[in-house]
Structures are given as structure tokens and as C-alpha cells.
Homo-oligomer: A and B are copies of this chain.
Amino acid sequence: MRITVINPNTSQHMTDLIGQSARGVALPGTVIDAVCPDMGPASIESHYDEALSVPGLLARIESAERAGAEGHVIACFGDPGLDAARELATGPVVGIAEAAMRVATSLGRSFSVVTTLRRTCGRAWDLAERYGVRGFCAGVHACEVPVLDVDGCPELIAATCRSVLERDGSDVLVLGCAGMTSLCAKLSAELGVPVVDGVRSATLLVQSLVLMGLRTGKHGEFAAPPPKPYAGPLHGFGRG
């Protein structure tokens, strides 16, 4: 089996960390292609960055499918471009916020999310609403560490997690950034509660879907996008 794990920002270091985590939980026979786009923002810290990460992300999914990928993970906690990717791809597509938040609901009454910058908390709430888990989400909190610095700040992040768990009284902690994937084991050990990493959760979910032969339903909203003229630098996206 071949699964693409797409880091929607253009940081190769973060892409490598993400690939490592995904490979660590995948089946022996599963090939994990950890990739990032060749166009778009170096990190995603605003709705603007998120919107502009999508064209490159979609291009990656298209080329991955041509290369035989059977399923796809979008490895950014804003789950950018998820609906568009589901139209485009033949195989299943899962976002890491989607996977992490859903896994968390099976581990207790409530979870708290710790993410990077405060300005991104709204997006996490929107996703919780979309995925129907708002009632399980006790809080979304920022540690105010920029995305690309996350894996170098384990202490600061651990401290935020501890105070968040105290305040929210929640059963489970959800890591609110793909860049935190490398901190998961350490945080689990320190915090004494289940710590859910979206990269691992989404990789396992996509792998499970492929194993069961399940893909996005293609008879309605998520049918392949109709080909049509595309102007300007996005010309190639017209799927004609």
C-alpha cells in the first residue's frame, strides 16, 4: 500500500519529522511518501497562509495518485483544502485535525487542544464544529510558539499543556500542530493523560480505510471536479 502524507507548508525539516511519525505506525508493507508542495507559504499561521497552501497541496495529491498512491493525509491542523482534495483524489483523504479530534472522543468525555499561535484557535473551533466534536472539546489553547519553532520548544509546550489540563479538566490532550508530532512520546510520558497526535492518527485511519476498500463516495458532491478553462499561473489546474 502507498500513502501520501502531505505537509502543506514548504518546510522540508517539518516534512521529515512528519514522515518519521507516519512510518513509525504504518504497516510493514505500507510505503509512506512524505512530501510538501513546491509552491506556497513556509508555514501556515493564518487563514491567508492556509488558503494559499491549497494549490500546491492539490498538485501534490494529483501527482501522488498518478504515481499509485491509494490514500492521502493532509498534515496541517487546519485541514486545508480537505473538500477539494476529496473531489480530486480517487483514494480516501483525511486531515490530521479530523483524525485527532475523532480519536480523542473515544478516549474520554472531553479533550483540550494545544496549538501554536492564538490567531489560529478560531480555525480549530470551526473544525471541531464541522466534525461534530464541539461538545467534546473543552478548550483550544495557544502556546504562542511559531509553527517552525515548535519541535525546539518541548518545555514551553509541556508547560502550556499542564496548565491547560488543569484549567479544562479534560481527559485527553490533542496536539494542535503537525510540527508537534515529534513531541508526542515525551508529552505522553510527562502529562499522564492520553496525548493524541494527528499525524499518526490520520495515517492509521487512511491505512484502515484502504484496507477496508473504502474511498470517498463519488456519486454527488465529491465527484471529480468538472474540467474547465483555468487562467493565469493556475492554468494547469483545469484538469482538461
Contacts and interface: CB of A to CB of B under 8 A. Distances in A.
A111 to B, nearest CB: 9
Contacts of A55: 51-52, 55, 234
B225 A48 contact: yes
A234 B52 contact: yes
Interface in A189-210: 192-194, 196-197, 200-201, 204-205, 208-209
Nearest to A212: B200
Contacts of A56: 231-232, 234
A88 interface: yes
Most chain-B Cβ atoms within 10 A of its Cβ — which of A134, A170, A211, A225?
A: A225
B83 A225 contact: no
The 5 closest A-B pairs by CB, nearest first: A39-B232, A171-B217, A132-B132, A48-B225, A47-B83
Nearest to A133: B132
24 contacts: A37-B231, A39-B231, A39-B235, A40-B232, A42-B228, A42-B231, A47-B83, A52-B54, A55-B55, A98-B106, A103-B208, A107-B217, A108-B217, A109-B220, A118-B220, A120-B221, A132-B132, A132-B134, A132-B136, A169-B220, A171-B216, A192-B219, A194-B214, A201-B212
Contacts of A25: 208, 211-212
Interface string A222-240: 1101101111111101110
Contacts of A33: none
A92 to B, nearest CB: 7
Interface in A47-81: 47-52, 54-56, 58, 81
Nearest to A128: B132
B121 A221 contact: yes
Contacts of A106: 92, 94, 98, 205, 209
Contacts of A235: 39
A194 B217 contact: yes
A150 to B, nearest CB: 15
Contacts of A151: none
Contacts of A141: none
A129 B42 CA distance: 32
